[in-house]
Amino acid sequence: MSTTLAGKIALVTGASRGIGRAIAERFAADGAVVGVHYGRNPQAADEVVAAIKAKGGDAFAVAAELTESGAAAKLFAQVDAELAKRGKKTFDILVNNAGVAPFVPFADTTEEQFDYVFNVNVKSLFFITQAAIPRLNDGGRIISTSSVVSRLPFPGVEVYSMSKPPVDNLTKALAKSLGERGITVNAVAPGVIETDMTGFVKSDEGTQQTLNMQALKQIGQAPEIADVVAFLAGPDARWITGQTIEVSGGTVITL
C-alpha cells in the first residue's frame, strides 16, 4: 500500500462503478479516506466501501441523484456528517467523475435527454464544485473527468460531446481563481475505456474500430485512468494546474 495520500480525505462522484470505482480504490490504496458517491445503486457503493475496507483502507458511501434540484446540498450534508465523525470540517480532494453518455442520434435527441446529460455532466459538476471549495483545505486538489470528445466530437453522441468542453473551461477558470490558496485544478480526458457505459467495445467490430483510432493497440481500462488521477492528486503534481490531460492511448494523434 502506498502512502502518497496518507492523511487525506477525498470525495469521488460516480464512484460505485467503472472509472469512479477504480479511482476510489486507488486513492484508498494510496492511504486516503474516500467518500464513495452514488446516485441510484446503494448496493454497488456499499460493495466498493467493503472492498476498500477489506484491504485495510477507509471509505464511506454518500448518495445524491445528480439530476435532482439541490443535489449538491444533499450530497454535502452527508459529507459534512461523515467529516464530523472524523473530527473534521474540511477535506482535501474532489474528483468530479459522475457522468452519463447516452448513445442517441442527433435527430432523435429529445429535450428531456438533452437536459439529462447537461444536468449530470455540467450543472451538477458546477454546483458540487461550488459547494466543495469552501470545504477544501488550502493546497487541495480538484480533478474532473473530461473526455477526448472535447477535441474529437463523436457522431452519435452529439449531446455528450457538447457537454465536455465546459469541464475543460471551468478547470482553467478555477485554476486561476484558486491558485492563491494553492489548490490545483485539473481534468483528465479519457478515450474509449471498457466500462458498462461502453458496451460496444465488447464486439469485434467495436474493438477494431477503437483500436484503429489509437496509437496503442489495446482497449483502455479504468485503472489506467485512475493512475493519472492519483498522480494529479498526489504531491508530485503540485506544479500542474489548469490542464486537461488526455489519457486515451494516443487516440487520433495524426492523420
Q: Where are the domains of the chain?
A: 9-247
164 band by pLDDT with thresholds 50, 70 and 90: very high
pLDDT at site 2: 82
Residues 123, 128, 134, 139, CA torsion sign? negative
Distance CA(5)–CA(18), nearest Å, equals 21
Q: Which of 173, 167, 163 is nearest to 187 (CA)?
A: 167
Q: Averaged over 57-68, what is the pLDDT?
A: 98
Residue whose entry in the numeric block shows the C-alpha cell 444533499:
74
| 247 and 228 Cβ atoms separated by less than 8 Å | yes
Mean pLDDT for the chain overall: 95
Q: 86-143, pLDDT tens digit by residue?
A: 999 999 999 999 999 998 999 999 999 999 999 999 999 999 999 999 999 999 999 9
96 phi, psi to nearest 5 deg: -85, 90
Tell which residue, 19, 55, 53, 56, has the closest CA to residue 37. Answer: 19
Cell numbers linked to 229: 488521477
pLDDT of residue 199: 65
Percent of the chain beyond pLDDT 90?
Answer: 85
Buried residues in 116-125 as b, exposed as e (16+ CB within 10 A):
bbbbbbbbbb
Could you report the per-residue pLDDT of 200-243, keeping only the tens digit for each?
A: 667 778 788 888 888 999 988 999 999 999 999 999 999 999 99
9-247 to CATH, choices 3.90.1170.50, 3.40.50.300, 1.20.120.140, 3.40.50.720: 3.40.50.720
What confidence tens digit (pLDDT) does each residue in 134-163 have? 999 999 999 999 999 999 998 889 999 999
pTM of the model: 0.95
Give CA 212 to chain center in angstroms: 26
Which residues are identified as catalytic? 160
